[in-house]
Structure 1
Amino acid sequence: MKNDDENDDFLFSQEMAGVHKLSDNNQVVYLKNHQKAARPQTPDVTEPENILTTGFLDVIDCAEPLEYKQAGVQQGVLDKLRQGKYPLEASLNLLRKPVETCRQELFSFFLQAQAQNLRTLLIVHGRGRHDESHANIVRSYLAKWLRQLDEVQAFSVATGKDGGAGACYVALKKSPQAKQENWERHAKHSR
């Protein structure tokens, strides 16, 4: 019996000889093939300074759901977002990462989403069971940071299938280019 186990171990190690561990840096996932994403990205040498702050934090109670909408945004937009009715275009995973790393990755993710005219995002932040747990601190910072980004129209806790209380949906404003395309498309129909 021992000989078979040794043989199996030897065969397994031969098969796995060229396999390497995947990088843990895969925090951004694009959920659909977006037309704008297909264009080659030119590196922007003058990336704007990260405006997200880490100063004073008002910790949000674990039982309080994350939810926000800018003034002027219709309640129906927030309702559809909360119900997960908008198609997700990209996702960011912030699980078990230090606050400063989360801050940097969120700002970079936001800039990429803007550059690619993405509208609906999913951010996985984790779910803390205690108000002072790390996951709840990241969650509370996320609520603060998303309010600091002018292009964020609304955000809401995700549905169970997308992470529930450990994730949130984010709706971004249309870019000026997308607004123009939408206007032109609807103007043609009204003629």
Structure 2
Amino acid sequence: MDFGDILKQWDEVRARSLRSGPKPHAVPEPPERAGQAKPKSAGGSPATGQPTATRTGSKSAATPSEPDRPSLARQAQLRWLEEHGVADKDSQLAEFRQHHIQRHLSRKEIDDMPYDATLDLHGLTALAAEEALEAFFLQAEMRQSAKVLIIHGKGIHSRSGPVLAELVRRWLERHPFAGRSGPADGQAGGSGATWVLVRRR
């Protein structure tokens, strides 16, 4: 037996030993994780694969929400306020007190009050005088003036008489900022001038 025969015999023995050896054990599949859901088949249930029916009319279905009643009430309030405005009670009370005080001032108390502003209408036309009066009283109200003096003249040198004096009287009767009024004393112009107590808004 030469060396080649020995190798051949060794290979045969080795092959027989491998064939007769223990077979490898099958590796078991890992158990499913607890709580892991099986994959669903398309359109079917996890267990049977059959299509599942969809419930209709359930309470969980989306339904249009009802209008927010507090919001609607708030909108109605805002619309009412836009149309009617808000009464400033503090302002109304202050105006009432001012008018009450003006009505009850004595002539001496009024005469003792200083003039906060003076307007001279000499030489103005009727239209220019009205425009000057409007601007003058707006400014007097803004500055919170209490008593003002309007010089209109006595009309001695006018052929038509005291035109400006009559214009001033009519204008003061209808203007909201004009309160009590009367002829000034001699030092302030007498019948050629008029003092006025200014009303406030």
Smaller-chain TM-score range? 0.3 to 0.5
TM-score by length of 2: 0.46
Instruction: Identify which of structures 1 and 2 has the higher relative contact order when contacts are C-alpha pairs closer than 8 Å and 6+ apart.
Output: 1
Q: Which has the larger radius of gyration?
A: 2
TM-score by length of 1: 0.48
